[in-house]
Amino acid sequence: MLKLYKICKGNNQFTDVCRDTNEYGLAVFFSSDGLVKAREEESVYGRTVRTESCEILTCTEDCCGVCKLYSSDLVQKSSRIVKSPKSYTNWKYFTSQQLKDKYDQQRVEIKILKRKIGHLEERAVLKMEFTWTLI
């Protein structure tokens, strides 16, 4: 009877998402309420992502229904890594690398804007001095 069942392989094609979540160790994925939703683990199939409620045994497919359903979340996370976020995207959806890039970009932008403010202040002072000399 047990021979009819297969062990759930989980989701082993999302190494990019796992490395973005945890660069060196095994990744852990949390739900919006802070509970562990899924985790990466070592198995006979290599590294794979299994949900906390994985059925472990499946009779028809290589992946149980719960892990198969979670794969759509992983696909979404993977597409966020590939795409650069829009300027109006909520920061909570950024990957760690995207946050770092955004921070660096804004730091450069602030430096440029501070220089512009300095130049405009100098011009305003010169214009005021020139106006006062004419009066």
Tokens encoding 7: 């062990």
Instruction: Judge contact between 54 and 43, C-beta under 8 A.
Output: no
Instruction: Give pLDDT tens digits for 62-119.
Output: 888 888 888 888 888 888 776 655 566 677 777 788 788 888 888 989 999 999 999 9
What SS3 state is found at 43?
strand
Element housing 120 (H / E): helix 96-134
Domain boundaries defined on the chain = 1-83, 87-135
Tokens encoding 114: 């501070």
Instruction: Give pLDDT tens digits for 11-42.
Output: 888 888 888 778 788 889 888 888 889 998 88
CA 65 → CA 21, 25, 48, 51, 68, distances in Å? 24, 26, 15, 10, 5
Largest CA distance in the chain: 103
In the sheet that 46-51 helps form, which strands lie side by side, from edge to edge? 28-30, 36-43, 46-51
28-31 own/partner pairs: CB under 8 Å, 24+ apart:
29/73
Q: Structure pTM?
A: 0.55
